[in-house]
Amino acid sequence: MEQYAIKGGNPLVGEVEIGGAKNAALPVLAASVMTDETVYIDNVPDVRDTKVLLQSMESIGVQVRHDGRHKVVVNGGQIHSLVVEDENIKKIRASYYLLGALLGKYKYAEVALPGGCDIGCRAIDQHIKGFRALGAEVVIEHGLIKTKAEHLTGSHIYMDISSVGATINVMMAATLAEGRTIIENAAKEPHVVDLANFLNSMGADIKGAGTDVIRIRGVSKLHGSDYTIIPDQIEAGTFMFAAAVTKGDVVVKNVIPKHLESIGAKLLEIGCEIKEEDDCLRVVASKPLMHTHVKTLPYPGFPTDMQPQITVALALSRGTSIVTESIFENRFKYVDELIKMGANIKVEGGDTAIIEGVPGYTGAHIAAPDLRAGAALVLAGLAGEGITVVDDIHYIARGYEDFHLKLQGLGAQIELVNSDRELQKFKLKVG
């Protein structure tokens, strides 16, 4: 079983290159099957979730070729099945993006119900409502979501909740529907905008992505494209917080600073310095961290995917902080692990963490409960005194490429170990 072995206490210093955004790459890859022509997608992160999606696309006849580590060439001209149900696809959330993509193109799709991180109930009613509004039938049977339509017709859809996944799915299907679709209360996340830009580069007519009203004029056909995925806001944010908790000085390179404003604002509030240069941000943490309050919100608010990382920092700050999770109902499971490291945090009502800052963490044997919490626990290990061992790091591999190697590049003492012997060797090496 793979684990991370960490010796904490080193300030992280240096530069780190941020990769393509997982949550943009997944819908873009799914949407690439919507044309019979070849699509070239660059800056695809080499993480487990993108690999699983690509394998599932191959299982229905999509041709996938890698041109280097981050460029993927996709051709969806010879799809032979509209049923996506291989074992792996059930484990990722983005499996359902193939529903919107295939429904739009073929007016038929069956896809295994989505998995993803266990961070609370993850309903799909808004996806279903959107597909039905476009004229599709949707049923859930035998663990599959099945959808079909004679014709898809544009519609005026009001989303009851701002959902990234539902906005993306409906946008894909509506792109190849007849007539005009308006999505109200649409999600505004950067990856929603990236997908709209990608679809437009294939000949779609989508306006307003990034605002809460998206207008789509259906087109009959899409064509090939050559597209580069945006940088990963959450990977960048995670390294920014790695600087904060280790009292370090880190430059995140190849980022879009606009996407990092809510994260940077909180780092400033807790006493870090931030310097912006073109597509880089430098985070310097030379002073003791201060407490603050934070509530997760849809973009441009503070992202739920950064909630565990900021909690790890606030648990080391002076005073009392309150973190409120407003997107998912069960996203504080990692707090029990942080408590093993000496944190003083109480979770109330499932959505509020009350944090009394402590002077430091002590290394412990802990386990990652999901992707972002896993990364945050690694940051705690890097900030802590002594050795931390993190189990279940397969979650982290879902969304962070070369996480430990990038951290090593900043001076972290972290290694991926595969056995007790390797762990003992690490302990001997770091002393």
- Asked if 95 touches ligand EPU (CB under 6 A), the answer is no
Tokens of 288: 């003791």
Q: Which of 189, 235, 211, 171 is nearest to 327 (CA)?
A: 189
Q: Single out the residue of 164, 263, 379, 410 in contact with ligand EPU (rule: CB under 6 A).
A: 164
Provide the terminal-to-terminal Cα distance of the chain, rounded to the nearest Å. Answer: 23
Q: Which is nearer to ligand EPU, 125 or 276 (CB)?
A: 125
Q: Is 304 in the site for ligand EPU (CB under 6 A)?
A: yes
- Give helix 22-31 / helix 48-59 axis angle, nearest 10°: 10
Give the nearer residue to ligand EPU in terms of CB position, either 124 or 366. Answer: 124
Round to whole Å and give the CA distance between 63 and 38. 9
- Part in contact with ligand EPU (CB under 6 A); list of ranges 1-9, 164-172, 411-419, 421-429: 164-172
Q: Which of 90, 127, 146, 253 binds ligand EPU (CB under 6 A)?
A: 127
Give the binding-site size for ligand EPU (rule: CB under 6 A). 26
Binding part of the chain for ligand EPU, among 6-14, 80-88, 122-130, 401-409 by CB under 6 A, reads: 122-130
The smaller minimum CB distance to ligand EPU, of residues 259 and 372, is found at 372
**Strands of 3-7's sheet in order across:** 365-367, 387-391, 3-7, 413-417
Interface with ligand EPU (CB under 6 A), residue from 136, 145, 371, 380: 371
**How far apart, in whole angstroms, are the C-alpha atoms of residue 306 and residue 375?**
10
CA 425, CA 265: separation in Å to the nearest integer?
A: 41
- Cβ proximity to ligand EPU, 236 vs 272, nearer residue: 236
Note whether 117 binds ligand EPU by CB under 6 A: yes
Nearest approach, Cβ of residue 228 and ligand EPU (Å): 18
Q: Can residue 123 be called a binding residue for ligand EPU (CB under 6 A)?
A: yes
Which residues, in sequence order, are CB contacts of 349 under 8 Å at separation 6+? none
Report in angstroms the alpha-carbon separations of 392 from 236, 345, 366, 375, 396. Answer: 22, 23, 9, 11, 8
Is residue 140 close enough to count as binding ligand EPU by CB under 6 A? no
Q: Which of these is catalytic: 117, 121, 272, 280?
A: 117
Q: Segment contacting ligand EPU (CB under 6 A): 100-108, 159-167, 343-351, 380-388?
A: 159-167
Count of residues for the chain?
431
Q: How far apart are CA 98 and CA 83, in angstroms?
A: 10
Contact pick of 94, 289, 387, 412 for ligand EPU (by CB under 6 A):
94
Do 272 and 295 touch, CB atoms closer than 8 A?
no
The DSSP call for residue 113 is P
Q: Can 272 be counted among the known catalytic residues?
A: no
Tell me how far, at minimum, the Cβ of 192 lies from ligand EPU, in Å: 9
CA atoms of 153 and 304, how far apart (whole Å): 34
Q: Which of 34, 54, 72, 166 binds ligand EPU (CB under 6 A)?
A: 166
Three-state SS at 216: strand
Q: Closer to ligand EPU by CB, 93 or 259: give it.
A: 93
Nearer to ligand EPU, 165 or 231 (CB): 165
184 binds ligand EPU (CB under 6 A): no
Least distance between ligand EPU and beta carbon 166 (Å):
5
User: 139: which strand partners?
Assistant: 146
Nearer residue to ligand EPU within complex by CB, 303 or 357: 303
Q: Which of 52, 149, 327, 382 binds ligand EPU (CB under 6 A)?
A: 327
Do residues 328 and 305 make contact, with C-beta atoms less than 8 angstroms apart? no
Q: How far is residue 31's CA from residue 409's CA, in Å, rounded to a whole number? A: 34
- Which positions touch ligand EPU (CB under 6 A)? 23, 26, 93-94, 117, 121-127, 161, 163-166, 187, 189, 304-305, 327-328, 371-372, 399
Q: Report, as residue numbers or ranges, the catalytic residues.
A: 117
